[in-house]
Homo-oligomer: A and B are copies of this chain.
Amino acid sequence: MTEKVQHDRVTCSKMMLPVQDALEILSGKWKIPIIIALTHGVKRFSDLSKEIPKITDRMLSKELRDLEMNQLVKRTVYDTFPVTVEYTMTEYGQTLHEVIEALAKWGYNHRKRIMQD
């Protein structure tokens, strides 16, 4: 059975919900690793499994499904035997790059700042 993922939301500013939406989509331990892996090109399930240290098939499968539902990732099945499946970022998924850049930039500086105290 599919696991539910639904959090309560808090509303006290008009930025609140959009920010929480965005964070929810990037939330969890594996979304960012998967997204970054896919920015380096089209990948198969087993490629991702190898490239992302310690992720289990269960989580990889689940997170890919989430990303696909949000139209960030496209899944393509080829009729070979055994089946081949390719994952790639959609064009829409690319729009996340700005956000991830902003996070990376801030995070990079923060790490430096916290180190030297």
Query: Which A residues have a C-beta under 8 Å from some C-beta of B?
Result: 7-8, 10-13, 15-23, 25-27, 29-30, 32-33, 36-37, 40, 51-55, 70-71, 92, 95-96, 98-100, 102-111, 113-114
Taking the full assembly, how many copies of this chain does it contain? Answer: 2
User: What's the Cα separation between A13 and B103 when bound, in Å?
Assistant: 14
A10's nearest neighbour on chain B, judged by CB, is B33
Is the beta-carbon distance between B12 and A107 smaller than 8 angstroms? no
Is the beta-carbon distance between B10 and A111 smaller than 8 angstroms? no
Is the beta-carbon distance between B26 and A23 smaller than 8 angstroms? yes
> A52's contact among B12, B23, B71, by CB below 8 Å, is which?
B12
Interchain nearest-CB distance for A15 vs B (Å): 5
Within 8 Å CB of A102, what residues of B?
Answer: 98-99, 102-103
Q: Which of A17, A26, A92, A99 has the most CB of B within 10 A?
A: A99
